[in-house]
């Protein structure tokens, strides 16, 4: 276990939550080889503070830019105090390090999407503040515009499905998933960037290196058991109300994935391959024009970090560990993410 792995924040209950979800099927429980176990504090999950955190941007509503269906640009809308703050109709619930920021930034280009910039962490850490507090974080929208937010820790928060369902049973949920092994390494890389003295990835992976027993209580490992977390959501939402976005394809074919997302949200397909270019220096797709700007825009330097080299034997051991859970996840979602 990583002692106090990164993520503890004052007043925060953290992205933890989810021990074994009520109703975890016997197969998953036995695959894990254990009974209920608390998911520790998500490692190193600091809030992403975008400029104008809290949803606002200078002169903007956090939506900014883009004309609405009625033709009023978002920034003008908020300056005029037009429109109203609404609870989100769609939420990106995970997964941590899946590519959630990229998806939200790309979606914000759409004139009918308005999103809060920072992660509200309402359904995990701030729930006691109430829905009025949550709504107040949201940008103003006009009829026909969709309000969105992203907080990746919701996916692994045991209470989140019931809470989101009680806000609105019709909330559309989006999960960006990524190969759980790469995701774990990405998660560790983030923690390492904040706490350079932590033990190696290899030593944190195992409860006992000699026997090869994996420490499933380490959040970097635990978060990637997608099938287990999904069980918890399916107690409250039909599978058709959850869209699974491939984190890998979001990089290799952003326009293709954005096409699926726009369809799911009932939006006109406005974001297309014309909006993206591949930035060789960054090594990732970037926007030709960011929302509310005429300049090209790549994500910041905390996105697309160089990962440390991990012992290939350990990587292989993790691949073997995740395989049955991945298969189960493919079966549950009807999608093969090609992680093996
Ligand atoms: N276009 C583009 N630009 C930069 N980065 C991109 C992009 N698309 C996906 N990604 C991947 O997003 C990973 C970070 O995921 P999240 O934004 O979900 O992280 S977080 O949970 O909000 O911290 C991040 O992980 P790392 O590469 O490990 O840093 C990226 O691989």
Q: Among the options 85, 96, 97, 158, which is catalytic?
A: 97
Reply yes or no on whether the pLDDT at 57 is more than 90: no
Q: Are 140 and 96 in contact (CB under 8 A)?
A: no
77 band by pLDDT with thresholds 50, 70 and 90: low
Question: For position 262, what pLDDT does the model report?
Answer: 98
Query: Which residue from 102, 219, 251, 252 has its CB within 8 A of the most atoms of ligand 1, so it is best to mutate?
Result: 102
Q: Are 43 and 215 in contact (CB under 8 A)?
A: no
Reply yes or no on whether the pLDDT at 119 is more than 80: yes
* CB-based burial, 73-107: b 16+ in 10 Å, e otherwise: bbbebbeeebbebebbbbbbbbbbbbbbbbbbbbb
Reply yes or no on whether the pLDDT at 20 is more than 80: no
Between CA 83 and CA 288 the distance in angstroms is 28
The answer to whether 280 is a known ligand-binding residue is no
Mean pLDDT score, 137-160: 98
Ligand 1 atom nearest 152 alpha carbon: 21
Token pair 């990089």 is found at: 251
Query: Which residue from 107, 303, 306, 307 has its CB within 8 A of the most atoms of ligand 1, so it is best to mutate?
Result: 303
Question: For position 215, what pLDDT does the model report?
Answer: 98
Mean pLDDT score, 248-277: 98
97 is catalytic: yes
- Cα angle vertex 176, ends 226, 43, to 5°? 65
Mean pLDDT score, 277-302: 94
CA of 101 to the centre of ligand 1 (A): 7
Nearest-CA residue for ligand 1 atom 7 is 102
Question: For position 288, what pLDDT does the model report?
Answer: 96
The answer to whether 9 is a known ligand-binding residue is no
Reply yes or no on whether the pLDDT at 65 is more than 80: no
ipTM beyond 0.85? yes
Nearest-CA residue for ligand 1 atom 23 is 97
CA of 133 to the centre of ligand 1 (A): 28
Cβ of 194 below 6 Å from ligand 1: no
Question: For position 292, what pLDDT does the model report?
Answer: 80
Reply yes or no on whether the pLDDT at 163 is more than 50: yes
The answer to whether 17 is a known ligand-binding residue is no
Task: Give the whole-number percent of the chain exceeding pLDDT 70.
Answer: 76
Mean pLDDT score, 300-327: 97
Cβ of 150 below 6 Å from ligand 1: no
More confident residue, 208 or 154: 154
Least confident of 27-36, 61-70, 143-152, 188-197: 61-70
Reply yes or no on whether the pLDDT at 242 is more than 60: yes
Measuring CA to CA, which residue among 318, 244, 279, 302 is closest to residue 92? 244
Task: Give the whole-number percent of the chain exceeding pLDDT 90.
Answer: 74
Question: For position 76, what pLDDT does the model report?
Answer: 61
Question: For position 194, what pLDDT does the model report?
Answer: 97
Spatial neighbors of 7 by CB under 8 A, at least 6 apart, are: 14, 15, 41, 42, 43, 44, 45, 46, 219
Question: For position 70, what pLDDT does the model report?
Answer: 37
Between CA 56 and CA 89 the distance in angstroms is 19
38 band by pLDDT with thresholds 50, 70 and 90: very low
The answer to whether 338 is a known ligand-binding residue is no
Question: For position 340, what pLDDT does the model report?
Answer: 85
78 band by pLDDT with thresholds 50, 70 and 90: low
Question: For position 291, what pLDDT does the model report?
Answer: 80
Reply yes or no on whether the pLDDT at 160 is more than 90: yes
Question: For position 155, what pLDDT does the model report?
Answer: 99
112 band by pLDDT with thresholds 50, 70 and 90: very high
């Amino acid at each position: 276990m990583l002692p106090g792995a990164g993520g503890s924040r004052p007043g925060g209950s953290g992205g933890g939550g989810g021990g074994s979800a009520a109703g975890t099927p016997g197969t998953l429980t036995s695959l894990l080889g254990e009974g209920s176990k608390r998911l520790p504090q998500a490692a190193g999950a600091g809030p992403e503070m975008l400029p104008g955190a809290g949803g606002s941007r200078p002169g903007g509503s956090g939506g900014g830019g883009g004309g609405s269906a009625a033709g009023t640009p978002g920034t003008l809308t908020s300056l005029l105090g037009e429109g109203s703050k609404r609870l989100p109709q769609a939420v990106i619930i995970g997964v941590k390090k899946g590519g959630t920021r990229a998806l939200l930034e790309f979606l914000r280009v759409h004139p009918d999407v308005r999103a809060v910039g920072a992660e509200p962490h309402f359904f995990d850490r701030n729930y006691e503040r109430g829905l009025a507090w949550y709504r107040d974080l949201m940008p103003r929208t006009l009829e026909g515009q969709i309000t969105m937010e992203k907080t990746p820790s919701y996916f692994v928060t045991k209470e989140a499905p019931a809470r989101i369902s009680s806000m609105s049973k019709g909330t559309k949920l989006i999960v960006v998933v990524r190969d759980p092994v790469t995701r774990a390494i990405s998660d560790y890389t983030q923690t390492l960037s904040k706490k350079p003295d932590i033990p190696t990835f290899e030593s944190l992976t195992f409860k006992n290196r000699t026997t090869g027993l994996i420490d499933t209580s380490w959040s970097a490992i635990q978060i990637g058991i997608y099938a287990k977390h999904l069980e918890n959501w399916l107690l409250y939402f039909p599978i058709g109300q959850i869209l699974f976005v491939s984190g890998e394809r979001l990089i290799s074919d952003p326009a293709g994935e954005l096409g699926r997302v726009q369809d799911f949200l009932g939006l006109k397909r406005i974001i297309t391959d014309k909006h993206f270019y591949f930035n060789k220096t960054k090594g990732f797709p970037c926007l030709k024009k960011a929302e509310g700007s005429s300049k090209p825009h790549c994500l910041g330097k905390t996105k697309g970090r160089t990962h440390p080299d991990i012992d290939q034997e350990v990587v292989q051991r993790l691949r073997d560990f995740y395989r049955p859970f991945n298969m189960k996840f493919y079966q549950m979602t009807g999608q093969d993410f090609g992680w093996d």
